[in-house]
Structure 1
Amino acid sequence: MSIPEDTTFRREMASAYRSGWHFIDLVTALPGPGDSLMVTLFGEPILVVRDDEDDDVRAFRCLRKPRGAPQPVRCAIRYGMIFVNLDQRDHELIEPEAVPATPRSA
């Protein structure tokens, strides 16, 4: 078995792990409206910002092409943590639901 080239290995790992939700930071990293942070996820620069108007947290993929507009990335906040999903397929980040108690039979 041959060892894959470094670039081939990184490309395969990125494609394998890029789908799904990835932890970015705690919500407290963006305390006020207009705050932002830049992270690199699988070699792609991601800008995470807290919106001025509605105080929502949004994420954008920063394209490296000239005149490329930032592309929205799926972003979710769960348990006080920011998660992003680079894959555009429909993966949901689901909070566990409380299981209703079943009445006992006497």
Structure 2
Amino acid sequence: MNVPDDSRFRREMASAYRSGWHFIDLVTAVPQGGDSLMVTLFGEPIVITRGEDEEIRAYRCLRRPRGAPQPVRCAIRYGMIFVNLDQRDHQLVGAETTTATPRSA
């Protein structure tokens, strides 16, 4: 029987779990324009920001020298922030627009 080595197994698992939408936090974690939140998802640093236009955006922080942050798909649904690191085109079923205006109860 062929048993995969630990690093190969971790790469395969990360590849399988990277695709799809992942919950990050509530939109209240970045309440005002200019606020940001840094998270690590599957070993990659991701910055969630709220712009002055009140839009919430996500960026992958590249480790190479002089690398600009790479945009990551970000969706807001029911007051929660979701990101998708996969480069293929996936849809969050029934996703709201990325408008981050907090909703009152």
| Pairwise TM-score range, normalised by the shorter structure | 0.7 to 0.9
Which residue is 1:15 aligned to? Answer: 15
Identity of aligned residues (%): 77
Gaps of 5+ in 2: 96-105
Q: Give the aligned partner of residue 34 of structure 1.
A: 34
CA distance in 2, matches of 1:91, 1:57: 19
For 1:65, the aligned partner's letter is R
| 2:61 is aligned with 1:62 | yes
1:73 pairs with 2:95 = no
TM-score computed with the length of structure 2 as normaliser: 0.84
Q: Report how many aligned residue pairs link the two structures.
A: 95
Secondary structure of residue in 2 paired with 1:28: helix
Question: In angstroms, what is the RMSD of aligned CA positions?
Answer: 1.4
Matches for 1:42-61 after TM superposition, within 5 Å: 42-52=42-52, 54-61=53-60
Partner of 1:94: 93
Distance 2:47 2:3 in 1: 34
Which residue in the other structure is 1:104 paired with? none
CA distance in 2, matches of 1:66, 1:30: 28
State the secondary structure of the residue aligned to 1:59.
Answer: strand
